[in-house]
A and B are shown apart, each in its own frame.
Chain A
Amino acid sequence: MTVTPTETIRKEIYVDAAPETAFRVFTEQIAAWWPLGKYGMFLDDAESVTFEERDGWQLVEKAKDGRESVWGEVVEYEFASKLRMTWHPGKEAAAMPTEVEVTFATSGDGTTVVLEHSGWERAGAEVRATRSGYDGGWIEVLEHYRRASG
């Protein structure tokens, strides 16, 4: 099978905590665990990353000097069960139309968390659809992550 960079990325992880706890930590406490110094737009200058209610809920990273980067918008929210959001750190949604879906399911005494990051193929498809040049952005973001992670 040919591996391509546009397939959905799927990650599954078992968490020894109730779905309610896991969901709350993923959303309300994202700043406590997201490796901001390594994966983010501001890196060493980053101050926080939080879900904020604006035009709907957005995931927002803030820098110490007040700059902001909206990473995505929540499009589906079911407490302790499912979170789906657009994912476009540092870019307008149209320039990086990927999506992240995280599901939480009871599994024994804990929770199985599945994360799927999809939509990578749309960037290429858009070139064909619009028959014009396309200045995509998601790879720049990844490059940013890569530089930061050395």
Chain B
Amino acid sequence: MAYAEALQALGDGTRRAVLEELRNGPQAVGDIAARLPVSRPAVSQHLRVLKEAGLVTERQDGTRRLYRADPDGLAELREYLDGFWEEALASFKAAAEREEGRKT
């Protein structure tokens, strides 16, 4: 899974809300639709995109299909966000130390 797909999938506010709902544990489409201002078909569609992006997995539980957030997909996205600040701060550190060296 590339984080590009995850970022793209999360570019939609409703999809982010759907994913947030799944932080509380595995849920069926109807459970999610009941708590968001979104129709069931729309929730299904969002879940499909999240699944393709590797952010959500599904499993059959009797007659219900349960969706859960996929920690691996999320971890990859986090890594990207972390990397961004990591790099900016490393560059900052070097600049601050150069400046201190000039002073003393």
Whether A25 contacts B95 by the Cβ 8 Å rule is yes
Interface residues on chain A, number (Cβ under 8 Å): 49
Contacting residues, chain B, for A24 (C-beta < 8 A): 99
Can you name the residue of chain B whose Cβ is closest to the Cβ of A31? B95
Q: Is the CB of B93 within 8 A of A35?
A: no
Q: Mark B83-104, 1 if CB is under 8 A from A, else 0.
A: 0111111111111110110010
CB distance from B15 to the nearest CB of A (A): 9
* Binding-face segment, A50-58, A60-68, A73-81, A117-125: A117-125
B-side contacts of A126, CB under 8 Å: 13
Contact (Cβ within 8 A) B96 A25? yes
From B14, B20, B71, B75, name the one whose CB has the most chain A CB atoms within 10 angstroms.
B20
Contact A115 B85 (CB under 8 A): yes
* A3-B71, A3-B75 known; A117 vs B95 contact (CB < 8 Å): no
Determine the distance from Cα of A68 to Cα of B69 in the docked complex, in whole angstroms: 38
| CB-defined contacts of B29 to chain A, threshold 8 Å | none
Q: Quick check: is B81 within 8 A (CB to CB) of the other chain? A: yes
A99 smallest CB distance to B (angstroms): 13
B16 touches A124 (CB 8 A): yes
Look across to chain A and name the residue whose beta carbon is closest to the beta carbon of B55: A5
Residues 104-144 of A, flagged 1 when their CB comes within 8 A of B and 0 if not, give 00000001010101000101111110011111100110110
Chain B positions within 8 Å of A, measured between CB atoms, are 3-4, 6-8, 10-14, 16-17, 19-20, 23, 35-37, 69, 71, 74-75, 77-78, 80-82, 84-97, 99-100, 103
Can you pick out 23 interface pairs between chain A and chain B where the beta carbons lie within 8 Å of each other?
Answer: A2-B71, A2-B74, A4-B74, A7-B78, A9-B78, A9-B81, A11-B82, A11-B85, A13-B92, A13-B93, A15-B96, A17-B96, A18-B100, A21-B96, A21-B103, A22-B96, A25-B99, A29-B95, A34-B92, A113-B92, A123-B13, A124-B16, A126-B13
